[in-house]
Amino acid sequence: MNPIVLIFLIQLKMFALIDCNNFYASCERVFNPILNKKPIVILSNNDGCVISRSNEAKALGIPMGAPAFKYQSIFKKNNVYVFSSNFPLYGDLSSRIMNILSSFTPNIEIYSIDEAFLKLKGFDNYDLEKYCEKIKQRVLKWTGIPISIGIGPSKSLAKVANKICKKFPEQTHGVYIIDSNKKRIKALKWLEIENVWGIGFKNSKKLREIKVTNAYNFTSLNDNLVRKKITIVGLKLKKELEGESILDLEEIRPQKKAIATTRSFENTITTFKTIEERISTFAICCAEKLRAQNSNCNSIYVFIKSNKFKQSEYQYRKGIVMTIPFSTNSNIVISKYAIMGLEKIFKSRVKYKKAGVIVMGITSDKSYQMTLFENEKTKHKKLMKMIDFIQKKEGQNKIKLANQDLKKRWKMKQEKLSFNYTTKLNEIIKVK
Exposed, middle or buried, 89 (CB in 10 Å: 0-12/13-18/19+)? buried
Tens digits of residue pLDDT in 31-66? 998 999 999 999 987 788 898 999 999 999 999 988
Backbone dihedral angles phi then psi of residue 267, each to the nearest 5 degrees? -125, 150
Residue 350 CB-half CA count within 13 A:
20
Between these two residues, 403 and 374, which has the higher pLDDT value? 403
Q: What is the DSSP letter of 425?
A: G
pLDDT for the residue 91: 87
Confidence tier at 324 by pLDDT (50, 70, 90): confident
Decide if 34 contacts 273 (C-beta within 8 A). Answer: no
pLDDT for the residue 298: 87
Tens digits of residue pLDDT in 59-76? 999 999 888 889 999 999
Residue 89's nearest CA partner among 426, 418, 420 is: 420
**pTM (predicted TM-score):** 0.70
**Domains within the chain, CATH numbers bracketed:** 259-394 (3.30.1490.100)
DSSP H stretches of helix in 66-219: 72-77, 87-102, 128-143, 155-167, 169-172, 181-190, 200-209, 215-219
Instruction: Give the span between the Cα atoms of 54 and 52, in whole angstroms.
Output: 7
Instruction: Give the span between the Cα atoms of 114 and 55, in whole angstroms.
Output: 16
Span 255-271, average pLDDT: 83
Decide if 35 contacts 29 (C-beta within 8 A). Answer: yes
Confidence tier at 9 by pLDDT (50, 70, 90): very low
pLDDT exceeds 90 at position 406: no
pLDDT for the residue 10: 43
Instruction: Give the span between the Cα atoms of 400 and 99, in whole angstroms.
Output: 36
Instruction: Give the span between the Cα atoms of 352 and 115, in whole angstroms.
Output: 36
pLDDT exceeds 80 at position 1: no
**Which residues have a Cβ under 8 Å from the Cβ of 107 and sit 6 or more positions away?**
118, 119, 120, 121, 249, 251
Tens digits of residue pLDDT in 207-261? 999 999 999 999 999 999 988 888 888 899 999 999 999 888 875 555 667 788 8
